[in-house]
Amino acid sequence: MKILLTLHEYLDPNSGAAGSTLSLGENYTKQGHQVIYYAYDDLPGRMSLRSKDLVFPEFTTCKILQVLKEQHIDVIDASTGDAWIWGSFLRPLTKKSPLLVTRSHGLDHMEHLERLEDAKLGNMKLSWKYPLYRGSIQLWEIATSLRCADAAFFSTIKMQIMRSTI
């Protein structure tokens, strides 16, 4: 099988999500699968980290289209929020669409609710910018990517709470 793994971080083997993604890819390779990675490392170096956060789904969509044009892919395994554009809009137009898998720790919406509660209690002050992306659009992107996936894998047991917030 050919598998495209995406992650909206730098592929550092000593980092949590990146290390897990690299380990997953190594295990796929050991089982005889071909793995392609796509992460912040592949974006233009001159871009700031915040810019990469904002545009990674768009760049991921372009990467998926490029890879599908060049070769057959069996599975797109994307972290939450990465493939929502392709999965929602372009996938229905794709002949023989690959399986779309979304993997998540499942805590994004819970973390948001806890931040709002902490702010309400005066334990933290949220930036005026927080509701513009992290507290709104990004949560919507995450929920959308979970909805359009064929399968979703969670690394925590918090799935029941996650389902109630999506």
Cα 18 to Cα 34: distance, rounded to the nearest angstrom: 18
Task: Name 78's bridge partners.
Answer: 6, 102
pLDDT range class, residue 156, cuts 50, 70, 90: low
How is the chain split into domains, by residue range?
2-165
pLDDT for res 62: 97
**pTM, full prediction:** 0.87
Superfamily of domain 2-165: Glycogen Phosphorylase B; (3.40.50.2000)
pLDDT digits (tens, 9 = 90+) for 46-99: 999 999 999 999 999 999 999 999 999 999 999 999 999 999 999 999 988 999
- What is the mean predicted confidence (pLDDT) over 35-54? 96
> Mean per-residue pLDDT for 133-146?
94
Contact 107, 34 (CB under 8 A): no
Question: Is 166 a residue whose pLDDT tops 60?
Answer: no
* pLDDT tens-digit map of 91-134: 999 988 999 999 988 889 999 999 999 999 999 999 999 999 99
